[in-house]
């Protein structure tokens, strides 16, 4: 049995239908995001965005960089400034307190196995030395009376630093809420953009 011939008219109708479906799907997904971005743009144009807060986007999961992020955050909070920290991808390590493998796909289990179960197990950005570098750094910090990373995180929570986990990054990395410390918020990128627009200082770590 021969297949029916696809006429130019029918091809155009199918193409138009596909475009309509694609546009509808994009509107459904991107519509809320665009509304949020338009609201932020409106506030910027109105000159109401300048605030007194500090906003940090924490991408790194390395000990020294996380230390720097939390030292800045706790210092700013101690000065009475509003501080928000948005953790994405490897930065989610700072919020972890355990690793859960149950219910995860093979890829998610592999990512979990390659990622520290808590910030105490984070490596360093230079001279990691197969894990010896972080041990040496922590030893020196202890000798000099420098607060540990878990201690800084606890201090940040006590000072009211807002900690936000990127929902999209959690989905990609296979991180579930039960793996994270208490008091963490879950939000998308527009939440970070909103806090950054309304902050006086923004930092990427």
pLDDT of the residue at 42? 66
- What pLDDT digit, counting tens, does each position of 87-120 carry? 999 999 999 999 999 998 888 888 888 888 998 8
pLDDT of the residue at 58? 97
- What pLDDT digit, counting tens, does each position of 127-173 carry? 777 667 777 878 888 888 888 899 999 999 999 999 999 999 999 99
- What pLDDT digit, counting tens, does each position of 166-192 carry? 999 999 999 999 999 999 999 999 999
**Domain ranges across the chain:** 7-49, 50-204
Closest residue by Cα to residue 49 from 188, 195, 161, 164: 195
pLDDT of the residue at 87? 98
Q: Where are the alpha helices (DSSP H) in the chain?
A: 8-45, 63-78, 106-113, 132-143, 149-158, 167-173, 189-197
pLDDT of the residue at 39? 65
Distance CA 144, CA 152 (A): 15
CATH 3.20.20.140 fits 50-204, yes or no: no
């Amino acid at each position: 049995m021969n297949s029916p011939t696809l006429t130019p008219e029918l091809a155009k109708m199918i193409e138009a239908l596909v475009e309509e479906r694609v546009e509808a799907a994009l509107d459904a997904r991107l519509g809320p995001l665009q509304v949020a971005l338009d609201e932020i743009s409106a506030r910027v144009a109105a000159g109401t965005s300048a605030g007194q807060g500090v906003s940090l986007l924490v991408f790194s999961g390395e000990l020294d960089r996380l230390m720097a992020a939390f030292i800045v955050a706790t210092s700013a909070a101690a000065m009475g400034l509003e501080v928000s920290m948005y953790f994405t991808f490897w930065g989610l390590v700072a919020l972890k307190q355990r690793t859960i493998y149950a219910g995860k796909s093979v890829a998610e289990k592999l990512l979990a196995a390659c990622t520290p179960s808590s910030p105490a197990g984070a490596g360093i950005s230079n001279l990691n030395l197969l894990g010896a570098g972080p041990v040496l750094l922590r030893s020196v910090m202890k000798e000099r009376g420098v607060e540990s990373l878990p201690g800084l995180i606890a201090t940040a929570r006590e000072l009211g630093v807002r900690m936000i986990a990127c929902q999209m990054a959690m989905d990609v990395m296979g991180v579930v809420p039960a793996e994270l410390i208490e008091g963490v918020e879950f939000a998308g990128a527009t939440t970070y953009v909103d806090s950054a627009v309304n902050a006086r200082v923004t930092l990427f770590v």
